[in-house]
Amino acid sequence: MAADSGEMRKRTFVVTRFDPDKDEAPRTVTYDVACRPDWKVLDALNHIKDEIDPTLSHRWSCRMAVCGSCGMNVNGEPKLTCKTALSDYGDVVEVAPLANFPIVRDLVIEMDGFMEKFQSVKPWVIVAKEKAAEQGTYSQTPEELAAYKQFSMCINCMLCYAACPVVAKEPHFLGPAAIALGHRYNMDSRDEGAAERNEVFRGEGSVFHCSYANECSEVCPKGVDPAAAVNQAKLLAVVDWAGSFVVERKR
């Protein structure tokens, strides 16, 4: 399946279109594109917008899988379109907006639902008293860094939300990325806010909604393994819950 040497190939793209001013519901439009052998799905979408149909709307930015903007469902699977080679696909490629999100227009989804869940886990270092500047910076050993580094690799691309069967059915569930990022701070040695986050983890958006389908980790483009984070968070939330009966909580 290596890229051919210089052979163009015609592929048919079945793209979801939706104009809130004109369309009752999303529909699909078919575009035939002569694709270069080294193209990614994003290249084809940009070609469609530039040369065939300028009304197509889609998100993208860095073209190198670090910004998390270009997440879409390609042939039913959540992908970063800048990273998804057309040579992996056949004659027909279906491009749809990211699953499980309200659709704003064409391939663009409403992100605010994720931002709300994300902010609710307080994704920042919480300390009771900030160190004074004269005391210097916070130091961490390589081991302390290793405890959370994997989970800090999340680029908020939301592919995991598009893959999760619980997100599809339970609107309150915090979801893989939000929990993984909250867990990232709980595992950060500089942080003192685990008790607060664990209350959020046991609240309405409960980490316990997760049934370890592991779909999120299968689609994550950065190897974050959010499923591991969520299930680690369950154990820590239980430990925190048990501890709250023993130790008086200071707020």
Partner 1 sequence: MKTLLLRLEPVIWLLFGAGIMVGTMLLPGYLLTVGLGAPLGLLPEGALGYERAHAIASNPIGRLVLLGIIALPLWKGAHHLRALFADWLGHGPDGLIGSLLYAVAAVGSLLGIYAVLTL
Partner 2 sequence: MARPSHPQAMTPHRPGSTRTAAPQVPDDFWTRRRMLTYLLFDATGLPYMLVGLLALRVAFALGRGPEAWARLMQDFSHPLYVAFHVLALIAAVFVGVRFFRLFPKAQPPRIGPAKPPPGLLIHAGLYAAWLGLTLVLLIVLGGLWP
Q: Which is nearer to partner 1, 102 or 165 (CB)?
A: 165
Order of strands across the sheet with 9-17? 27-35, 9-17, 92-96, 71-74, 77-80
Residue 214's binding partner out of partner 2, partner 1, none, with CB under 5 to 8 Å set by partner kind: partner 2
**139 versus 211: smaller Cβ distance to partner 2:** 211
Separation of alpha carbons 175 and 198, rounded Å: 15
CB of 200 to partner 1, least distance (A): 13
The 176-205 contact track toward partner 1, x by CB under 8 A, reads --------------------------xxx-
In contact, 59 and 68? CB cutoff 8 Å: no
> What's the distance, CA 75 to chain centroid?
18
Could you tell which of partner 1, partner 2, none binds residue 2, using a CB distance below 5 to 8 A set by kind?
none
Helix 176-186, helix 226-246: angle, nearest 10: 50
Dist CA 237 CA 231 (whole Å): 10
Instruction: Provide, rounded to whole angstroms, the least separation between the CB of residue 221 and partner 2.
Output: 16
Residues found near partner 2 in the complex (CB under 8 A)? 14, 16, 18, 20, 23, 25-26, 28, 73, 76, 94, 96, 99-105, 110, 112-116, 146-148, 161, 165, 167-171, 175, 187, 211-215, 218, 225, 227-228, 231-232, 234-236, 239
- Give the one entry of partner 1, partner 2, none that residue 113 binds, where binding means its C-beta sits below a cut-off of 5 to 8 angstroms depending on kind: partner 2
User: Residue from 211, 223, 246, 250 that binds partner 1 (CB under 8 A)?
Assistant: 211
* CA gap 26, 37 in Å, rounded: 30
Residue 110, Ramachandran bin (φ over 0: left; ψ between -120 and 50: alpha; else beta): beta
Shortest approach of partner 2 to residue 148 CB, angstroms? 8
How near is the Cβ of 122 to partner 1 at its closest, in Å?
20
Report the nearest approach of partner 1 to the CB of residue 25 (Å): 21
If 0-12 CB within 10 Å is exposed, 13-18 middle and 19+ buried, where does residue 228 land? middle
Distance CA 231, CA 225 (A): 10
Choosing among partner 1, partner 2, none, which partner's interface includes residue 238 (Cβ < 5 to 8 Å by kind)? partner 1
Q: Which does 28 bind (CB under 5 to 8 A by kind): partner 1, partner 2, none?
A: partner 2
Q: Are strands 9-17 and 92-96 parallel, antiparallel or unpaired?
A: parallel
Q: Please count the other Cβ atoms lying within 10 Å of the Cβ belonging to residue 110.
A: 14
Contacts with partner 1, residue ranges (CB under 8 A): 165-166, 169-170, 172, 202-204, 206, 208-209, 211, 234, 237-238, 241-242
